[in-house]
Structure 1
Amino acid sequence: MYKVAVVQAASVPFDADAATAKAERLIAEVAANGGELAVFPEAFIGGYPKGTSFGTAIGTRTDAGRVEYERYVSGAIALDGEEVGRLERASAEHGVHLVMGIIERLGNTLYCTALMIDPAAGLVGKHRKLMPTATERLVWGFGDGSTLDTMETPGGRVGTVICWENYMPLMRQAMYAKGVQIYCAPTADDRPTWQSTMQHVAIEGRTFVLSSCQVIMRDAFPADHPVEYELPGGDTLMRGGSVIIDPSGSVLAGPVFDEEAILYAEIDQAAKVRSHLDFDAVGHYARPDVFSLTVNTAPTESVRFTS
């Protein structure tokens, strides 16, 4: 058996140092409770600025919005920065594999990224969100197929699909084809309908699904941070809904709403093996003579210098 943990907690928006410190404390707590893999929410380090427009509408931008964007950039982290080093050390110290949602800064572009960190090897993989949703595209760049990484753990192969990427059937199929056994879904979607999506993924992929969402209140953000749209939860900007599901679609832990919590479950990959008796989306239930998928895993660059 392999003990996994899903961390449902509030970020410290725009403060990478404080958010990393909170992550370090939570990793220690997971380890103290026997957890061997910890999955954190989308944008846990950097923050998810729900309800914020950055002063934009079609054909117009504001100076105040640009200043707000500057603050958002200041809270993002680089893959070679000290925050990633601290996460690697926490992983090593406590013997916990990590899936960590961050806002990544690369040059002058931000990405919504999930890091995969191994206690012995450090940062072994990353996934940049391929398709930021709606106005997320204003502040996040698009990932490419070179970041469909996986991570080997004693409990199985880990892969990560972020938030509404889980509504992309071909994205899911690619991850099943990569042999993902522990399918991690960091998200900012706290709607009740998200649970149906996660159960569908578990049954379709015959995989364990670990989904993590923040619980965060308006007062977690700086007092002058603009939330320009009335949100369904009022001052509750995200209400959680984190969950752990097995390959049959049975819920092992959660969902939990409206409070910070760490969900735990013991998983056994034999359950996945048994589930494939009657279904394998990329094997005996596939019809490659009718349907096929090509995945481009080459990195894409806007400028290449050759000599």
Structure 2
Amino acid sequence: MQAKVRVAAVQAESAWLDLDAGIDKVIALIEGAAAGGARLVAFPETFVPGYPWWIWLDSPAAGMPFVPRYAANSMTRDGAEMERVRQAAARNGIHVVLGFSERAGGSLYMAQAFVSETGELTSVRRKLKPTHVERSVFGEGDGSDLQVHDTALGKVGALNCWEHLQPLTKYAMYSLGEQIHAAAWPGFSVYRGAARALGPEVNTAASLMYAVEGQTFVVAPCGVIGAAARELFCDTELKRDLLLTGGGFARIFGPEGSPLAEPLPETDEGILYADLDPALIAIAKSAADPVGHYSRPDVLRLLVNRNPMPRVVEVPADPPAAAPEELAVEEFPSALPAS
């Protein structure tokens, strides 16, 4: 980072299971963030077409009616919907980190797209390990999804949700020199009061700790549960008790732990802004750089495999086999005397 930069974190409700409406909302938020002076805007986890909350509320069998609709409204990385996002980024001159459900063949992945201010799709990464019941919907990424990108703003990376509770994943990201980190969350209103690990206290602390551990700015967008979500996912009183209205806890933190944006009420939709001063990174790292002077590689080191792991690997064709008569001459020379 060479200069101060303004960033934006989205706190909003998805257009649930509606791909076209979801992209319309993404574009409106991109335009709003750019109008607010932001040069980067980050979106919640699987903002398009929305987080599949049914997986936390009932049995897998009861959730089957959602599956075809969710798959049909998930986005490909090379389709018309991504092209619309790219055009919006270019039109508004803003970097975008978009959380979406990626459809690839017959599988879905919890993905984050990096789109540059010129509209280039820099990359798409996938969540390395979907959490708990998420594994009933989504596949997992590989080491190639540990990514930090050089941009005009600085080195930008991203992770999803409880990837921020995986120590080795975090350390691998810190080692890449990340300066601006998008920490995407789906919302914190499920099991409120019964599962503290899923709530705002723990997970907001995870974003804060990521900033302090890695000495990076953390832009933490967060989803909101509104009336539309409860209408869609909650057909019983018990489900309404399990998935409450609200859950929006977007935050922006500095590399030494300072809160840089005034939070919104958890039920409100909006955009948080902060101006990031790169001098704070130098100050934070002077005290504790976990992959530099504050490390002990003689005691502890991390082994990382960043290679992509394709499902199908084509074996090279064998060389043409020799003709039978050639083999006979070669392997069984004639015993007759030479004439």
TM-score, with normalisation over the residues of structure 1?
0.92
CA contact (8 A) 1:187 1:211 kept: yes
Report what 1:68 is aligned to: 66
Aligned partner of 1:128: which letter?
A: R
1:116 is the counterpart of 2:100: no
1:306 is the counterpart of 2:325: no
Q: Structure 1 residues 83 and 196, CA, compared in 2 at 3 Å: closer, same or farther? A: same
* CA distance, structure 2, for counterparts of residue 96 and residue 226 of structure 1: 37
Report what 2:201 is aligned to: 192
Report what 1:142 is aligned to: 140
* CA distance, structure 1, for counterparts of residue 280 and residue 229 of structure 2: 40
Aligned partner of 1:214: which letter?
A: G
- Superposed CA offset, 1:248-291 (max 9, x none): 10101143322001000101112101211121000001111111
Report what 2:302 is aligned to: 293
Aligned partner of 1:252: which letter?
A: L
1:283 pairs, out of 277, 292, 313, with 292
CA contact (8 A) 2:223 2:248 kept: yes
Q: List runs of 5+ in structure 1 lacking aligned partners.
A: none
* CA distance, structure 2, for counterparts of residue 225 and residue 203 of structure 1: 36
- Superposed CA offset, 1:197-238 (max 9, x none): 2221111111101111111224247x56456753657541x5
SS in 1 for 2:64: helix
Report what 1:247 is aligned to: 255
Give, in angstroms, the shift of residue 67 of structure 1: 3.1
Q: Structure 1 residues 227 and 275, CA, compared in 2 at 3 Å: closer, same or farther? A: farther
1:203 is the counterpart of 2:212: yes
CA contact (8 A) 1:51 1:227 kept: no
Give, in angstroms, the shift of residue 13 of structure 1: 1.4
Give, in angstroms, the shift of residue 52 of structure 1: 3.4
Give, in angstroms, the shift of residue 150 of structure 1: 2.2
SS in 1 for 2:288: coil
Aligned partner of 1:164: which letter?
A: W
CA contact (8 A) 1:54 1:69 kept: no
Q: Structure 1 residues 232 and 99, CA, compared in 2 at 3 Å: closer, same or farther? A: farther
Give, in angstroms, the shift of residue 32 of structure 1: 1.0
SS in 1 for 2:206: helix
Q: Structure 1 residues 168 and 8, CA, compared in 2 at 3 Å: closer, same or farther? A: same
SS in 1 for 2:212: helix
1:43 is the counterpart of 2:38: no
Q: Structure 1 residues 115 and 216, CA, compared in 2 at 3 Å: closer, same or farther? A: same
Higher helix share: 2
Report what 2:197 is aligned to: none
Q: Structure 1 residues 249 and 87, CA, compared in 2 at 3 Å: closer, same or farther? A: same
CA contact (8 A) 2:183 2:218 kept: yes
CA contact (8 A) 1:7 1:262 kept: yes
1:18 pairs, out of 11, 17, 21, with 21
SS in 2 for 1:160: strand
Q: List runs of 5+ in structure 2 lacking aligned partners.
A: 189-199, 317-339
Give, in angstroms, the shift of residue 189 of structure 1: 4.4
CA contact (8 A) 2:217 2:254 kept: yes
1:32 pairs, out of 32, 35, 60, with 35
CA contact (8 A) 2:226 2:267 kept: no
Q: Work out the number of aligned pairs and report it.
A: 300
In our comparison, the structure showing a higher alpha carbon Rg is: 2
* CA distance, structure 1, for counterparts of residue 269 and residue 26 of structure 2: 13
Higher strand share: 1
* CA distance, structure 1, for counterparts of residue 228 and residue 118 of structure 2: 38
Give, in angstroms, the shift of residue 153 of structure 1: 2.8
SS in 1 for 2:271: strand
* CA distance, structure 1, for counterparts of residue 23 and residue 311 of structure 2: 31
SS in 1 for 2:286: coil
